[in-house]
């Protein structure tokens, strides 16, 4: 029996939701969006527009790629998070945190922040040269924050359904700073210009370690996905790589194809995010 377009859409939407939100995603989504109470952000605010758009798929992959360039951050992920065996678990937790702090009640959002801060306090270790690292270090937290915000904003600007204007982009950066401060980030950027300056200030610390390149290879070439889903995933990865700064390509051994990235990859990325946006709009079984 041949499935109808609507049935294919529903199955694809459910599969995407399951991969990103996890097996309990529907229950958590109902609580996040359905619980009455004050929110940190208004329904028409920039952060709600960005974090509710399908471009977050591209932005999330780009954020993971970019974050690997900080040796201490990569060491913490390698030793404590298990990027191979629990990649989707990490994605589930990150997406849930973003959803709760963006769309949930103020009480639930603060509770989510408190949980993450307690986890960070336990993530400590030593670099190969003997230097200690801690996930709660404000400098390291700030790197993770600016890498994520820059990635989400760039992806939304290129692949978002309704990209923000300059005032909206500055609003988005300022709103993400509110969450970052609660997580322990000191002096998060408040405008797009400040965000660019913050990223540039980290460049001397960044490099492509063997751990970083291994994580990138795993992310790009060995996703724990069904065979049928790997081609669309490859398009999202290509779109994410296409948004990476040029100077990151050599240390992470990423391809640099400027003409193709501006034409073929951009067109495929637009089609892929449009398809995800369409599929995620299908009703999901609870």
The pLDDT score that the predictor gives to residue 270 is 85
pTM: 0.87
Q: Of 47-51, 148-152, 215-219, which range is least confident?
A: 215-219
What pLDDT score was predicted for residue 124?
A: 93
Confidence of residue 200 (pLDDT cuts 50, 70, 90): very high
Domain ranges in the chain are: 5-280
pLDDT in tens, 225-251: 666 667 777 888 899 999 999 999 999
Write out pLDDT tens, residues 150-199.
Answer: 999 999 999 999 999 999 999 999 999 999 999 999 999 999 999 999 99
Residue from 34, 3, 30, 2 nearest 17 by CA? 30
Judged against a pLDDT cut of 80, whether residue 57 lies above it is answered with: yes
Res 286: pLDDT: 40
């Amino acid at each position: 029996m041949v499935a109808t377009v609507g049935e294919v859409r529903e199955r694809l939407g459910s599969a995407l939701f399951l991969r990103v939100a996890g097996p309990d995603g529907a229950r958590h989504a109902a609580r996040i969006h359905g619980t009455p109470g004050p929110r940190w952000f208004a329904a028409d605010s920039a952060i709600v527009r960005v974090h509710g758009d399908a471009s977050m798929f591209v932005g999330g992959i780009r954020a993971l790629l970019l974050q690997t360039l900080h040796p201490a951050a990569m060491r913490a992920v390698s030793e404590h998070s298990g990027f191979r065996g629990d990649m989707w678990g990490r994605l589930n937790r990150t997406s849930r945190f973003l959803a709760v702090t963006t769309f949930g009640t103020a009480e639930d959002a603060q509770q989510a922040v408190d949980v993450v801060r307690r986890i960070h306090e336990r993530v400590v270790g030593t670099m190969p040269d003997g230097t200690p690292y801690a996930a709660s270090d404000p400098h390291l937290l700030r790197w993770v924050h600016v890498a994520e915000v820059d990635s989400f904003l760039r992806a939304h600007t290129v692949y978002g359904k309704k990209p923000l204007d300059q005032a909206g982009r500055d609003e988005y950066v300022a709103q993400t700073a509110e969450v970052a401060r609660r997580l322990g980030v000191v002096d998060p950027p408040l405008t797009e210009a400040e965000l660019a300056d913050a990223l540039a200030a980290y460049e001397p610390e960044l490099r492509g370690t063997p751990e970083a390149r291994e994580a990138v290879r795993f992310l790009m070439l060995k996703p724990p996905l069904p065979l049928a889903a790997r081609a669309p995933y490859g398009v999202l990865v290509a779109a994410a790589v296409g948004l990476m700064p040029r100077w990151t390509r050599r240390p992470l051994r990423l391809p640099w194809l400027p003409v193709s990235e501006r034409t073929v990859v951009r067109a495929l990325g637009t089609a892929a995010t449009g398809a995800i946006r369409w599929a995620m709009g299908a009703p999901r079984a609870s």
